[in-house]
């Protein structure tokens, strides 16, 4: 059996899927897919660019998770989260604290 290949990956708050309320899932192209709970699929397709987006469910409602790109540590927003958006300065402070704590380990 061939493995399904996905164009994109996104993190979704598990709490949003359990809430019973619809929420928008944003694609990198600017397209929006409305997620209607109960959502039990492993991916969605963006209607604007036709990318397949793998959904990775994160327990609870974390707001952001740590990730890394070519510039270093980043904060990746969790879609469907009720957490308030962080300013660039707030994100920078959180990342600085995280990296300082990682050096202490």
Residue 37's DSSP bridge partners are none
> Quick check: 7 pLDDT over 60?
yes
- This prediction has a pTM of 0.86
Q: What is the pLDDT of residues 86-105, one digit of tens each?
A: 999 999 999 999 999 988 77
Residue 79's DSSP bridge partners are 12
Domain presence at residue 65: yes
What is the total count of domains within the chain?
Answer: 1
Q: What is the pLDDT of residues 25-56, one digit of tens each?
A: 999 999 999 998 788 889 999 999 999 999 99
Domain presence at residue 29: yes
Report CA torsion sign: 79, 25, 93, 90: negative
DSSP 98: H
Domain presence at residue 89: yes
Q: What is the pLDDT of residue 1?
A: 57
Which residue is associated with the tokens 């980043």? 74
Alpha-carbon span 77 to 65, nearest angstrom: 7
Question: Where in the sequence is the domain holding 78, given as residue range(s)?
Answer: 8-104
């Amino acid at each position: 059996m061939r493995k399904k290949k996905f164009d994109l990956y996104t993190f979704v708050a598990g709490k949003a899927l359990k809430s019973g309320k619809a929420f928008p899932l944003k694609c990198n192209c600017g397209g929006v897919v409305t997620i209607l709970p109960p959502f039990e699929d492993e991916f969605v397709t963006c209607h604007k660019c036709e990318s397949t987006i793998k959904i990775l469910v994160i327990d609870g409602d974390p707001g952001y998770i740590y990730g890394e790109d070519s510039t270093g540590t980043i904060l990746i927003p969790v879609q469907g989260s009720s957490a308030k958006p962080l300013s660039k300065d707030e994100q920078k402070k959180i990342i600085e604290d995280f990296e300082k704590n990682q050096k202490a380990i």
